[in-house]
Structure 1
């Protein structure tokens, strides 16, 4: 099996697994207990927290959550005032702001340009002094474009609003802009374990609690933390910090090799969805008009790639992100997402792409 679905999840790093194992095998204490085993567990949690915070802007606090979905829900529901967000956001943002709108909160969803980027002039007109929250994704999970979050944060602060950044796909890979007030991250998109995320809060920013109970996390999040998951997330963050330059160079090399192999934008017919320059290179979202993606995935069962967001798989609807950049339903349904990263080799990627390309061309010849 060739794994090319890094936007859905990443392989667990051996270092993360090693950090988790002691807390899964023998060290079972509750990190919120006052006795010695509990204090040892708490120490492991805090080491993880510090490692995760090291990849966030300075001057803030990391609160552990069950994942980025909880973090985003907490940040949105815990604030007040009109919301401004983008049409290409993850469902964890779009569905949450829609729920807030149904309860009477004003909501503006900004369009994006054909390259997937927000028009800052449009954003400036929408972010007004009454705005309470601006929410934008750093790296889009479907098409990989990098939004101008720093510029959006400046507009938000000028209007007196808070800036929420969904950094799930960018955290540990590119810098999180200093202007953010709240940042959501997820361990399993960074070679860490599933089931844990974080909400970073700038000092002085305190969204109302989403979960009520013991208030174990200082910013107000309730629930017993897992030392194993916290340690695994921390180890993944430390590894990302140490290998970031090499990882980025590696995925950039793979991106250009893939584009050359498929002749993207050329006579081969494959077209890149989203900006060719303002993007994270580990994401390759491509369309081939007339492609039957379901059939392609069936014919290439030993290659793990995606027809879009894993969170929306099985919905039967064309991607809202691809529709937002102006693609027709047919074009959106003829698009695939190839995701690669640290553990992907050039030979494996190119062999898989050759298989995908040949199967796609066989389809077209038979049509």
Structure 2
């Protein structure tokens, strides 16, 4: 592999984040000498099992859940599949209607399309031009046979934050469960599953400085306990919800990332927002440039900017040592306009002219300055 000698400027933190060195250090002993299976009954295994129990507590403290309400998965995609398919199977006696939004991540949309092929009825809510759903449309879509409403907390492409508490309240009024894809929120924003009245919530470690391959699902067990049919069978791990040998190194890393986030996220947010705002204000000086999505209700690290009459792929390709994105990393290989931006009313041309910049806690002011200068050298000659 060719060595990259220039400094790499990474502004694609919504796709994945670098591992915090403290997180890496915490997991290393469990890749070397603390390698026991957490489900083994010998003393070595019981020690590792106690570590896993402590991680459940760490994650619970981050999102205000009980430790036994945390199910470990390989990431948010698995958690989403487990949640939606599991609810569909467990509550089919009540109905077969599910409500979601047209701007959800592919993990939600593809799972819902799969269920449609099995006879379930799915309502895909539209969004307003600012990316927010219309609560009146949601209310009119809910029925007595609605079993689940699934709306993401923070949109991965625009950073738009949905009114989660209002959505959960409307869902519960008709006896439906509310599932939230919290992938872009957990570890970045204060999330309280009790205050928001969330029944199920997915999250992924690599979105907040833990490694890839580890995530989880919050599954409410207090009050009206949520029932969930398992996807994976073979040992009854995770309380029967998800069989498979636990990824202990990843779990330990997720716990450490959760503890760091709880202590530092607000401080990080203030600094990251200042970097994002500086970048955004400078880039909006290009003729016709505008921000996609609601600028008041969005995550502090994201700006999705349309540069009319430009080709985002060309710009990205010419940013040799700068990483930015033109959409979700999970669908970036598909040469189609962003389904999120199209749902917000953008034309194909403007969707293809839009770039997402997502900063993280390791970015610096120098990164922002260099990015502005690099884009300036690419776009200005075209404008001239």
TM-score by length of 1: 0.96
Task: Report if the CA contact (8 A) 2:278-2:368 is conserved.
Answer: no
1:185-217 deviation digits (Å, cap 9, x = unpaired): 000001001001100011111210011111111
2:208 aligns with 190
Choose from 321, 325, 342 the match for 1:306. 325
Choose from 181, 185, 202 the match for 2:220. 202
1:54 aligns with 61
Choose from 167, 180, 187 the match for 2:198. 180
Does residue 1:362 correspond to 2:381, yes or no?
yes
Structure 1 residues 1-16: aligned runs within 5 Å: 1-16=8-23
1:20-74 deviation digits (Å, cap 9, x = unpaired): 1001122211110000111111122122221111122445600000110000000
Task: Report if the CA contact (8 A) 1:206-1:219 is conserved.
Answer: no
Task: Report if the CA contact (8 A) 1:82-1:133 is conserved.
Answer: yes
TM-score by length of 2: 0.92
SS of residue paired to 1:254 = helix
Does residue 1:249 correspond to 2:270, yes or no?
yes
Measured in 2, the distance between the counterparts of 1:360 and 1:49 equals 48
Deviating beyond 4 angstroms after TM superposition, the runs of 4 or more aligned structure 1 residues are none
1:19 aligns with 26
SS of residue paired to 2:87 = coil
Does residue 1:222 correspond to 2:243, yes or no?
yes
Measured in 2, the distance between the counterparts of 1:5 and 1:247 equals 16
1:288 aligns with 307
Query: How many Å apart are 1:259 and its aligned residue?
Result: 2.1
Measured in 2, the distance between the counterparts of 1:275 and 1:90 equals 18
Indicate the larger mover: 114-123 or 79-88: 79-88
Measured in 2, the distance between the counterparts of 1:58 and 1:312 equals 32
Does residue 1:99 correspond to 2:117, yes or no?
no
Unaligned runs of 5+ in 2: 1-7, 89-95
Task: Report if the CA contact (8 A) 1:137-1:167 is conserved.
Answer: yes
SS of residue paired to 2:357 = strand
Does residue 1:347 correspond to 2:366, yes or no?
yes
Measured in 2, the distance between the counterparts of 1:337 and 1:304 equals 10
